[in-house]
């Protein structure tokens, strides 16, 4: 059985007080509203990790994640943060290959292979992002494009390591634009990606892999998107900054 997961990506938003307020609200609502069977991950910027973890404490099924980690283990890499540091501060997950990092920080499929390695070696679960830009969608080559992202970054993994990966399919044209993929478009891609994973790692491994949808997911469309058989949850940007919206998305299964 694959996990249902909702992960919030705060991106570069919120100061210390705002981050503490948002986290406290989410933790309290999460406990009060008796959420079951959904793994929730908060992914704040690096400086928030420790104080957010303090508020999360040991709340069952509520985890801390980072938005990035270095591809290096340690050393003279000014400004970088290693996977082992993240783990030691209480992170369990790390978002890797978000389209903003691919675009603005030129992260390649090859670099992401090294980041995935660091994450796995340090006991972090990668939430590996993939997705196509608008021109690729319009050209109709999106399936091949996204499959290639998975092939180049993940197909060198052992079966044991692959079993620890979470995938997030995020069509770039839907991220932060208010333009969501339809639930049918999401299902079509998730199914194709699962088949692609099965061709390398076998049907059982593919069936056990959580594939999240990301791209302008909100309380109004989450139920429809999450109802699709190959959609196992969401990676949520803008709506994860509002506690009520984020909770309503979590409750959309
Ligand atoms: C994201 O940043 O991964 C994302 C899906 O953002 P938004 O929900 O704002 O589109």
- Is the CB of 127 inside a 6 Å radius of any atom of ligand 1? no
C-alpha atoms less than 13 angstroms from C-alpha of 129 in its C-beta half-sphere? 29
**Per-run averaged pLDDT (10 residues), the chain, 253 residues:** 96 98 97 92 98 97 98 98 98 98 98 98 98 95 98 98 98 88 96 98 98 96 98 98 98 95
- Looking at the CA of residue 236, tell me the nearest atom of ligand 1: 8
pLDDT, residue 176, reads 85
Distance CA 126, CA 88 (A): 16
- Looking at the CA of residue 175, tell me the nearest atom of ligand 1: 10
pLDDT, residue 217, reads 95
Q: Tell me, letter by letter, the H, E, C secondary structure of the chain.
A: CCCEEEEEECCCCCCHHHHHHHHHHHHHHHHHCCCCCEEEEEECCHHHHHHHHHHHCCCCCEEEEECCCCCCCCCCCCCCCCHHHHHHCCCCEEEECCHHHHHHCCCCHHHHHHHHHHHHHCCCEEEEEECCCHHHHHHCCHHHHHHHHHHHHHCCCCHHHHCCCEEEECCHHHCCCCCCCCHHHHHHHHHHHHHHHHHHHCHHHHHCCCEEEECCCCCCCHHHHHCCCCCCEEEECHHHHCHHHHHHHHCCC
Distance CA 70, CA 82 (A): 5
Spot the catalytic one: 48, 71, 98, 142.
98
- Is the CB of 6 inside a 6 Å radius of any atom of ligand 1? no
Pair 75, 84: CB distance under 8 Å: no
Distance CA 232, CA 149 (A): 20
190 is catalytic: no
* Mutation probe of ligand 1 site: the residue of 130, 234, 235 with most atoms within 8 A of C-beta: 235
- Looking at the CA of residue 129, tell me the nearest atom of ligand 1: 3
Q: Which residue's alpha carbon is at the smallest distance from atom 3 of ligand 1?
A: 237
pLDDT, residue 210, reads 98
Query: Using CA atoms in the order 163, 210, 174, 136, what is the torsion angle rounded to 10 degrees?
Result: 50
Q: Which residue's alpha carbon is at the smallest distance from atom 2 of ligand 1?
A: 237
Spot the catalytic one: 107, 132, 170, 196.
170
**Residue 98 CA to ligand 1 centre (angstroms):** 9
- Looking at the CA of residue 170, tell me the nearest atom of ligand 1: 5
Neighbour tally for 247: CB within 10 Å = 21
**Residue 75 CA to ligand 1 centre (angstroms):** 32
- Is the CB of 176 inside a 6 Å radius of any atom of ligand 1? yes
CA angle in degrees (0–180, nearest 5) for 231-233-239: 130
Pair 74, 84: CB distance under 8 Å: yes
Residue 130 phi/psi, 5-degree rounding, is -145, 165
- Is the CB of 233 inside a 6 Å radius of any atom of ligand 1? no
**Residue 175 CA to ligand 1 centre (angstroms):** 5
């Amino acid at each position: 059985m694959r996990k249902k997961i909702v992960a919030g990506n705060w991106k570069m938003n919120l100061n210390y007080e705002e981050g503490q307020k948002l986290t406290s609200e989410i933790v309290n609502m999460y406990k009060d509203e008796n959420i079951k069977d959904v793994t929730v991950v908060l992914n704040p910027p690096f400086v928030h990790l420790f104080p957010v973890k303090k508020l999360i404490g040991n709340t069952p099924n509520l985890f801390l994640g980072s938005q990035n980690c270095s591809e290096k283990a340690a050393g003279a890499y000014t400004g970088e943060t290693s996977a082992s540091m993240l783990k030691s501060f209480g992170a369990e997950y790390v978002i890797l290959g978000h389209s903003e990092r691919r675009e603005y920080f030129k992260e390649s499929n090859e670099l992401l292979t090294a980041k995935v390695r660091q994450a796995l070696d340090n006991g972090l679960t990668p939430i590996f992002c993939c997705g196509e830009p608008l021109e690729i969608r319009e050209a109709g080559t999106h399936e091949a494009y996204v499959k290639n992202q998975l092939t180049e970054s993940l197909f060198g993994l052992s079966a044991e390591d692959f079993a620890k990966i979470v995938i997030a399919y995020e069509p770039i044209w839907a991220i932060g634009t208010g333009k969501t993929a339809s639930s049918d478009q999401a299902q079509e891609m998730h199914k194709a990606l699962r088949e692609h994973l099965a061709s390398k790692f076998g049907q059982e491994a593919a069936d056990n892999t959580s594939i999240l949808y990301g791209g302008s997911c909100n309380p109004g469309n989450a139920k429809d998107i999450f109802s699709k058989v190959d959609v196992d949850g969401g990676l949520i940007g803008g709506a994860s900054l509002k506690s009520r919206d984020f909770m309503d998305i979590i409750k959309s299964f």
